[in-house]
Amino acid sequence: MVPLMCEQADCLVAALECKMRAGESVHMYDYLVKMALETIAVCSMGTHFDSFDSTEPHPFPVAFQAALDAMFALLNVPTQLWSCCVLSIWRVQKAVGVMNGLIDEIARKRVDKETSSSGKAPDLLDIMLAEGSKSSRENVRSQILTFLFAGHDSTAAAMSSPIVFLVANPRVEARLVAEI
Ligand code: HEM
């Protein structure tokens, strides 16, 4: 899986270089989230969201962000009052519905052998589908969503912190650049 991960890192660097050449500034965290989601999707279920290339955003990251926004809105409200937050709850359910539908379609294509894992080895989706009845379709969806939710923010945050520290410490940044 390491070559697949390196490919996503290369896509991130290419996208940043493109922005740099155009003289545009970027919000690094957003770019790191794109890379994290892309890496997890490619490695776990052989799927590209085309986060860096496409002008039209893929519906999965759009629904993913909509679910996060609605969940964060709920966090501002005491849990006892959540049942009153009909709009936020509807937004979460709608976004989760979209993501479930997309994952089901990805799983169906894999079962029907229309797609395969991105690397030589079986990916998470292959392993779960091979377990057959032990892994229900709902369980497959939940595991993939857990991977995407648990993996994207942790990775993007962990990668953002060193960038902040390097920007604040130019001498260390210069040493690092010289080293690589
Ligand atoms: C630098 C990156 C990461 C950090 C710092 C990090 C940190 C953590 C921490 C602290 C936990 C909670 C452990 C516990 O309470 O027992 C956790 C759980 C988890 N992480 Fe990560 N993680 C990272 C990347 C990832 C990635 C890339 C994935 C998957 C692609 C992932 C998947 C998970 C899963 C599935 C759980 C368990 C969630 C649950 O069911 O509660 N993590 N991680």
What average pLDDT does the segment 161-165 reach? 93
Q: Ligand 1, atom 27: nearest CA belongs to which residue?
A: 151
pLDDT at 133 (0 to 100):
60
pLDDT at 86 (0 to 100):
95
What average pLDDT does the segment 82-111 reach? 93
How many Å lie between the centroid of ligand 1 and the Cα of residue 20? 32
What average pLDDT does the segment 140-162 reach? 91
Q: How confident is the model at residue 134 (pLDDT cuts 50, 70, 90)?
A: low
Domain total in the chain: 1
146 lines ligand 1 (CB under 6 A): yes
Nearest to 146 by CA among 111, 98, 110, 96: 96
pLDDT at 164 (0 to 100):
92
Question: Three-state SS across 136-166?
Answer: CHHHHHHHHHHHHHHHHHHHHHHHHHHHHHH
Pair of tokens at residue 2: 């390491």
Task: List the CATH number of the domain containing 157.
Answer: 1.10.630.10
Alpha-carbon span 73 to 89, nearest angstrom: 10
Q: Ligand 1, atom 5: nearest CA belongs to which residue?
A: 154
The mean of the pLDDT values for the chain is 91
Contact 149, 29 (CB under 8 A): no
Provide the residue range defining the domain that includes 137. 2-179
Alpha-carbon span 121 to 43, nearest angstrom: 10
**In sequence order, what are the residues at sequence separation of 6 or more whose Cβ sits closer than 8 angstroms to the Cβ of residue 96?**
63, 67, 145
pLDDT reading at 31 higher than 70: yes
> Could you tell which of 154, 155, 159 is best to mutate to test the pocket of ligand 1, judged by most ligand atoms within 8 Å of the CB?
154
151 lines ligand 1 (CB under 6 A): yes
| Residue with the larger pLDDT of the pair 100 and 55 | 100
pLDDT at 131 (0 to 100):
77
